[in-house]
Amino acid sequence: MKSATEMPTPAPSKPDPLRWVKENLFNGIWNSLLTIITLLVIFFVAKNALNWALTEARWDVIPANFRLLMVGPYPQESLWRVWAGVMLINLLAGLHLGNSNRERVSPDLRNTWIALVVITVVYSALQFSAPSAKFLPAVLVVLTVAFFVGRRLNPISTLGWTIAWVIGFGVFLLLIGGNFGGGPITSDLWGGLLLTFLLAVVSIVASFPLGILLAIGRKSKLPVVSGFCVVFIEVVRGVPLIAVLFMAQLFLPLFLPDVRIDKVLRAMVAFTIFSAAYLAEYLRGGLQAVPRGQDEAARAMGLTGTQTMLLIVLPQALRAVVPAIVGQFISLFKDTSLVAIIGLTDMLGVANSITANSNYIGLSKEVYIGITLIYLCFTIPMARASRAVEARLNASKR
Partner 1 sequence: MEKIPFYRDTRYISILLQVIFLVLVVGALVWLGLNMLHSLEKQNLSFSFSFLTGSAGFQISEGPLFDPAESYLKAFWVGIVNTLRVGLTGIVLATFLGFMIGISRLSSNWLVNRLAFFYVEFFRNTPLLVQIFFFYIAVVLQLPAAKQGYNIDGWFYLSNAGMTIPGLIPNGNSWTYVLLLIASVVGSVFLTRAIKNNLIGFLLPLVVAIAGWTILKPFGIDHPVLGNFRVTGGSTLSAEFTALLVALVLYTSAFTGEIVRGAIQAIDKGQWEAARSLGLNYGQTLQLVIVPQALRILIPPMGNQYLNLIKNSSLAVAIAYPDVFNVASTAGNQSGNNLQAMTIILLVYLTISLIISFLINLYNRSFNIQGAR
Judged by CB under 8 A, the stretch of 89-97, 132-140, 217-225, 284-292 that binds partner 1 is 217-225
Judged by CB under 8 A, the stretch of 95-103, 202-210, 267-275, 347-355 that binds partner 1 is 347-355
Instruction: Closer to partner 1 by CB, 35 or 294: give it.
Output: 35
Q: Name which position in 204, 348, 350, 354 contacts partner 1 (CB under 8 A).
A: 348
Q: At what angle are helices 263-289 and 241-255 packed, to 10 degrees?
A: 120
Q: Name which position in 59, 66, 165, 375 contacts partner 1 (CB under 8 A).
A: 375
Instruction: Closer to partner 1 by CB, 62 or 139: give it.
Output: 62
219 touches partner 1 by CB under 8 A: no
Binding map of partner 1 across residues 252-291, x = CB under 8 A, - = no contact? -xxxxx----------------------------------
Q: Name which position in 295, 334, 388, 391 contacts partner 1 (CB under 8 A).
A: 334
Judged by CB under 8 A, the stretch of 33-41, 60-68, 115-123, 182-190 that binds partner 1 is 33-41
Q: Name which position in 132, 316, 368, 388 contacts partner 1 (CB under 8 A).
A: 368
In 3D, which of 336, 332, 315, 328 has the Cα closest to residue 386? 328
Instruction: Closer to partner 1 by CB, 124 or 337: give it.
Output: 337
- Those residues with Cβ within 8 angstroms of residue 98's Cβ, 6 or more apart along the chain or in another chain: 146, 147, 148, 149, 150, 151, 153
Q: Tell me, letter by letter, the H, E, C secondary structure of the chain.
A: CCCCCCCCCCCCCCCCHHHHHHHHCCCCHHHHHHHHHHHHHHHHHHHHHHHHHHHHCCCCHHHHCHHHHHHCCCCHHHHHHHHHHHHHHHHHHHHHHHHHCCCCCCHHHHHHHHHHHHHHHHHHHHCCCCCHHHHHHHHHHHHHHHHHHHHHCCCCCHHHHHHHHHHHHHHHHHHHCCCCCCCCCCHHHCCHHHHHHHHHHHHHHHHHHHHHHHHHHHHCCCHHHHHHHHHHHHHHHHCCHHHHHHHHHHHHHHHCCCCCCCHHHHHHHHHHHHHHHHHHHHHHHHHHHCCHHHHHHHHHCCCCHHHHHHHHHHHHHHHHCHHHHHHHHHHHHHHHHHHHCCCCCEHHHHHHHHHHCHHHCCCHHHHHHHHHHHHHHHHHHHHHHHHHHHHHHHHHHC
Residue numbers 116-155 binding partner 1 by CB under 8 A: none
380 touches partner 1 by CB under 8 A: yes
46 touches partner 1 by CB under 8 A: no
213 touches partner 1 by CB under 8 A: no
Judged by CB under 8 A, the stretch of 67-75, 114-122, 248-256, 318-326 that binds partner 1 is 248-256
Judged by CB under 8 A, the stretch of 46-54, 143-151, 181-189, 361-369 that binds partner 1 is 361-369
197 touches partner 1 by CB under 8 A: no
From the CB of 258, what's the least distance to partner 1, in Å? 9
Number of residues this chain uses to bind partner 1 (CB under 8 A): 60
186 touches partner 1 by CB under 8 A: no
Q: Name which position in 64, 340, 389, 393 contacts partner 1 (CB under 8 A).
A: 340
Write phi, then psi, for 346 (nearest 5 degrees). Answer: -75, -170
From the CB of 267, what's the least distance to partner 1, in Å? 14
Write phi, then psi, for 366 (nearest 5 degrees). Answer: -60, -45
From the CB of 281, what's the least distance to partner 1, in Å? 10
**Residues near partner 1, by CB under 8 A:** 1, 6-8, 24-25, 27, 31, 34-35, 38-39, 42, 221-225, 228, 235, 237-243, 246-247, 250-251, 253-257, 330, 334-335, 337-338, 340-341, 348, 351-352, 355, 362, 364-365, 367-369, 371-372, 375-376, 379-380, 383
